[in-house]
Each structure stands twice: as C-alpha cells, then as structure tokens.
Amino acid sequence: MKPRANPVYCGIDTTDLEGAARLIQSIGGAPRPAVGGIKLGLEFFLAHGAPGIRYAFPAPVRATGVGFFLDLKLHDIPNTVAGGIRAVAELAPTYITIHSSGGRDMLKAAVDEAGNQASKLGIARAKLLGVTVLTSLDKSDLVATGVNAEPSEQVLRLAGLARDSGLDGVICSPHEITALRKQCGADFVLMVPGIRPVGSDANDQKRAMTPRQAVDLGATHLVVGRPIYKADNPRSAAEAIALTRRAQSPAFKIMLDVKAMSSEAKPIPQIIRESKGDFAYFHANDVNMKGPGFGEVDFRPIAAALKEVGYDGYVSVEVFNFDEGPEVIATKSIEYLKRVFA
C-alpha cells in the first residue's frame, strides 16, 4: 500500500528570524523534509516581511518540495484584500488564508487576483483557505461577538460561503472535519490546527485532537506548532508525528510508558484516555526508575483509565534501578499491579 504524503505543516509562530531559519532548515531541508510544509503567520510577517520569508525559507529548502503556508488571515474590503494577494504572490505560497466572514465579494476578489498573479508570474496559483472559527474560540466567545451559534454551526455556514465563492478549502477545528467532508466534498482542503500529539499540553486550543484522530476523520493537512518547535529535537518530533500517519497499518501503534508520561503536562489517566486506539503496549514503572509500587506514582487511577479505554494488552514492568534485586522487584511489582487492577 502506498504511504500517505506527509500531512504535517509546522506552524512557526515567532519573531526570531535566525531561530526560524534554523528550524526551517532542520525540519524542511535536504535530503528529505521531516514535514509536509511550513506555516509562517502574521507575527513573523509583520516583523520581517517578504525579505524575512526569503531569508528564513530560501530556495534550496523550497526545492525539496516542502509546502509553504502563508497564514495572514486577510480581512478587509475586496480591493484591499486583492492587493494583499498581489503583494505576496511572488513569494509563491502554497496556501494563503483569508477570513470567510469578509463576505462573498471579498472572497471572489481574492480568488480572481490569485489566478491573475499565477498567470502573470508563471507560477502555481496559491490556494486560498477560508478562516471559519478560530480553534481558540468556543460558543461563549462567539456569543460575545454577537454570533448566537455553536462553533460547528458557524463553521459550516462560513465553509459553504467559502466553497461557493471559489476558495480551495478552509481552516477548521478537528471536530468539524466529518461534517465539512460531508458538506464540501472529498477535494475540499481541510487544514486543521488544534493538533496536539498524545501527552502534549493543549495550550490555548480549546478544540484540540491528536494527529491520528484528525487524519482518520479526513483532514488534508495538520498544523502542529509548539509540540514541534519547542521540542528538544524538532526534527525528531516532526518525524514521529508524521510517521504514524504515513504508515497505513492498523498494527502501527505506540507504547505508553509511565515514567515518560510523568514528565508531561497532562495527568497520565488523561493521556491514556486520549490515546485510546493508538497504543498497543504499556510499560509500568516509576519516576524513581524502579517498578510499580516502589515509588510515589499511584497506579490506581492509571489502572482505572486502562480499563475505561478497554485496553486488553500486556502491562510489563520496566526497571532501571535494581537495588532491591530482580526477584524482589518482580514479585512485589506483580503483587502491587494485581491489587490495583483487581
């Protein structure tokens, strides 16, 4: 079976020009990009403009085929938005964002100008994506702005307007993917932020989802920011996120490890619940490098979460500190696990 193309776009939200350039080279450069694309947004663009994009995202990196998502969220009168499209067209972005709430005339003006510039410059036309409802917003935020609707209802309304106005797709929350696929069809691009790998902090994303869940529902691309660019090794983080999506096999799963999860921002039971269906093996150990029951980790809520998600695989004891001796560790660890799982 042919593997899927890498769906991950790394969102780089910074004004640090040199840091962005190093990161883009690391995850997007030769010999093979670790991501499907790079997203540079308003913060970076206002700080450095087109020259900054050319510097941080140079031709040798672009030559690898990595995509370029210019996330400016344009929103103004039709003529001004068309002028904005014209101004950035020579940067040859793969995608540009525009607020669907700007109205039909604004959206059509942007579509027409994108086509005109592609013909004039002899480049591929930038695909336009409508911004529907920001993933940082929930219903209370919409009501505060005068929109008395659920986020999912407003997303469908604005996505329909974007499609009918000629846009190529939309930005949407993971939780609207299924409804949008049904309404807008298989070829409509769904660029999905709010993606947080298992164990990651949701930060300001109120409607987040894991990469596996989002792609399985029908997302075209995933925007992953902080879990990649704040990782100790951004390239490895990007490759790990993409790997499970590119291997189209139900046997390709992850392993959860108690000691490793103890360093994450989320409680271990929450990580287990969010990983339902994604893991096939479980390591029981403690932060003190000893077996379960030899440290401060309470395995009772962990056992309850494993039961809740229907996990029926192996729970193995992994130990790095053998001060008590292997027989004592094995005996007491198994006795402890039997009690908490009873």
- Report all structural domains of the chain as residue ranges with CATH numbers, in order of start: 8-246 (3.20.20.70), 254-341 (no CATH)
The two structure tokens encoding residue 200: 């990651």
Query: HSE (CB half, 13 Å, CA atoms) of 273?
Result: 10
Residue 70 has pLDDT above 90, yes or no: yes
Cα–Cα dist 318/309, whole Å: 22
The pLDDT of residue 199: 46
* C-beta neighbour count of 97 within 10 angstroms: 24
Residue type, 89: A
Q: What is the dihedral of CA 159, 162, 163, 165, to 10 degrees?
A: 160
Residue 62 is classified by DSSP as H
Q: What is the pTM of this model?
A: 0.73
Choosing from 73, 108, 206, 332, the catalytic residue is 73
pLDDT of residue 31: 82
Residues above pLDDT 70, as percent of the chain = 89
User: 221, 237, 219: which is closest to 229 by C-alpha?
Assistant: 237
| Structure confidence by residue, pLDDT tens digits, 255-307 | 889 998 887 777 899 888 877 777 888 999 999 999 999 999 999 999 999 99
Residue with the bigger pLDDT between 234 and 49: it is 49
Report the pLDDT value the prediction gives residue 202, as an integer from 0 to 100: 46
Which strands make up the sheet holding 315-317, listed edge to edge?
A: 254-257, 279-284, 315-317
CB 125 within 8 A of CB 114: yes
Rounded to whole angstroms, the Cα distance separating 13 from 30 reads 22
User: Going by C-beta distance under 8 Å and a sequence separation of 6 or more, which residues neighbour residue 211?
Assistant: 7, 8, 195, 197, 222, 224, 241, 242, 244, 245
Residue 251: its pLDDT value, please? 67
311: left (phi over 0), alpha (psi -120 to 50) or beta: beta
| Residue 49 pLDDT exceeds 50 | yes
Give the chain's largest Cα–Cα span.
77
Alpha-carbon distances, residue 176 vs 161, 172, 210 (angstroms): 16, 6, 14
Q: In whole angstroms, what is the distance from residue 201 CA to residue 208 CA?
A: 10
Distance CA 78, CA 283 (A): 57
Please determine, for residue 254, whether its predicted confidence score (pLDDT) is greater than 90: no
| Average per-residue pLDDT for the chain | 87
| pLDDT tens digit sequence for 13-37 | 899 999 999 999 989 987 888 899 9
**Residue 92 C-beta-side C-alpha neighbours within 13 Å:** 15
Rounded Cα distance, 90 and 70, in Å? 12
Whether the bond into 250 is cis, omega within 30 of 0: no
With 70 as the cut, is the pLDDT of residue 244 above it?
Answer: no
Give the rounded distance of the alpha carbon of 313 from its chain centre: 28
Residue for token digits 């899927």? 4
The pLDDT of residue 204 is 45
- Is 73 labeled as catalytic in the residue annotation? yes
Enter the tokens of residue 316: 């193995």
- 8-state DSSP, 209: B
Distance CA 18, CA 40 (A): 14
Query: For residues 17 and 312, what is the distance between their CA atoms, to the nearest angstrom?
Result: 48
Where is pLDDT greater, at 206 or 217? 217
